[in-house]
Structure 1
Amino acid sequence: MTTTITARTVEYPADGLTMVGHLALPAGAGRRPAVLLGPEGMGLGDVERRRADALAELGYVALAFDLHGGRYLGDPEEMLARCLPLLADPDRMRGIGHAALEVLRAEPRTDPDRIAAVGYGTGGAVALELGRGGVDLRAIGTVNATTTGRPGEAARIRCPVWAGVGSEDPIMPPAQWNAFTAEMRAAGVDWRLTVYGGASHAFHHPPVDHPTVPGVGHHPQHARRAWRDVVALLAECLPVTGDPGA
């Protein structure tokens, strides 16, 4: 049986911009667990919108949040010029994440005590910074985002963390994975790292019709596996319970 979902655009202020997110709601009228979904550095596009819709079909309230004020940065130089300073500023990332989280929590269908954050690339770094900032999340999942934070702040993470990386990713190389896992170990976090053999950076993202930074490449098989791993993380830590039509 096909589940009927609804989706709408939501605007909200963050980082001095008017962000334009995509909110997807599952069928029914009752409260449901919710997922904050962060995009790659290029910004919110149809890929993330479809993922939010897919999560709604599974019974979650899902908000795919914006990074660039409604813009999709297909020019690699423009994307890096915005994302590199952002990635170097945990407080800015947390501000973007908190603004989206407020929108998600304000949605009447959202169970505010049952929220997870999943992100890709820059969006994954934002999800991790929410955890390091002490936000009460049920799970954090990232792909291409084994970023580290300020010393000691990972101890504030209060939920399981799963990270997926490509073995051939020059942007998130093994040295970065090792720093990330060392941070998680030192903080006593419940963490997992999945390495997808032969995959490059952004392996989860379908091919795009604009230039990309070096080291980016789609891997269809691992893209499907990474999505299944995200769904499994949510099923474990944030199960949808009760009648989905209620």
Structure 2
Amino acid sequence: MAAITTRTVAYPADGLTMAGHLALPAGTGRRPAVLVGPEGMGLSDVERRRADALAESGYVALAFDLHGGRYLSAPEEMLARCTPLLAEPDRMRGIGRAALDVLRAEPRADPDRIAAIGYGTGGAVALELGRGGVGLRAIGTVNALTTGRPGEAARIRCPVWAGVGSQDPIMSAEQRAAFAAEMQAAGVDWRLVVYGGALHAFHHPPVDHDAVPGVGHHPLHARRAWRDIVDLLTECLPVTDVCL
């Protein structure tokens, strides 16, 4: 099997120079494409590996950046940047659209067949792209049950899949209910999977999370959540030899 190719791509967004990770499948033809959004700490090898896995399955994948090439491992620094960001949908959409422009400009990517997946803050960016009316084929999020401005979810024109841990103190039962109510009222084709016993960031290997209350890795549910995301892409954005 021919190997995938990867490279770092620099692009402007949110007043910063972002450093995304682009993964290209073997071959030369156009393929469907996927944006991959990182957790609040920023782009890490976790998201890079997921982009690589998608490329191995035939997708063009761009794991986008949130913090200008920085990884904010200190919770205080991460919260200082992400808390106001999550309160500003237009800023999130700007970050997402900048990455989307990079992906659409890639010659291997089919600009009309793009999905967005993301984790935490990156998942919130994916949802805001949908609420902003971007024509995506699917949106998949983990730990990102953010609700948007009233009525804007009606602009989402693709299926939405969301996963969350039952014991996630950040994405509480009340937050889950609010997200479900928003999606339902907007007539979105939506699914919410609650993984029993899982905490916040359950999908993320325990690199530097375990010291944070309410955060913890759950290996079994992490594998299940990834399979669910792959199933979403297989359903809504299948890889074919020729993208029509």
Q: TM-score range by the shorter chain?
A: over 0.9
Unaligned runs of at least 5 residues, structure 1: none
SS in 2 for 1:137: coil
> C-alpha deviations, 1:126-166, integer Å up to 9, x for none?
00000000000000000000100000000000000000000
Q: CA deviation at 1:243?
A: 6.9
Match for residue 203 of structure 1?
Answer: 202
- Give per-residue Cα distances to partners, 1:215-239, cap 9 Å, x unaligned: 1000000000000000000000000
Structure 2 vs 1, CA of residues 215 and 199 (structure 1 numbering), >3 Å: closer, same or farther? Answer: same
Partner of 1:168: 167
SS state at 1:171 partner = coil
TM-score by length of 2: 0.98
Q: Deviations over 1:180-207 (max 9, x none)?
A: 0000000000000000000000000000
Q: Residue 210 of structure 2 contacts residue 216 of structure 2 at CA under 8 Å; is this kept in 1?
A: no
How far 1:118 moved relative to its partner?
A: 0.1
Point out where structure 2 has 5 or more consecutive residues left out of the alignment: none
Q: d(CA) in 1 for partners of 2:231 and 2:2? A: 19
- Give the CA deviation at 1:210: 6.4
Distance 1:237 1:3 in 2: 25
1:34 aligns with 2:42: no
Supply the AA of the counterpart residue of 2:26.
A
Paired residues, what number?
243
- 1:68-79 residue pairs with structure 2 within 5 A? 68-79=67-78
CA, structure 1 residues 129+210, in 2 after alignment: closer, same or farther (shift >3 Å)?
Answer: closer
Q: What residue in structure 1 maps to residue 113 of structure 2?
A: 114
Q: Distance in 2 between matches of 1:209 and 1:126?
A: 23
Instruction: Percent identity, please.
Output: 84
TM-score by length of 1: 0.97
Q: Distance in 2 between matches of 1:150 and 1:240?
A: 34
Task: Tell me the distance in 1 between the aligned counterparts of 2:2 and 2:237.
Answer: 19
What residue is the counterpart of 1:183 in the other structure? 182
Amino acid of the structure 1 residue aligned with 2:66: L
d(CA) in 2 for partners of 1:126, 1:73: 17
CA distance in 1, matches of 2:11, 2:25: 22
Counterparts in 2 of 1:58-97, with a 5 A limit? 58-97=57-96
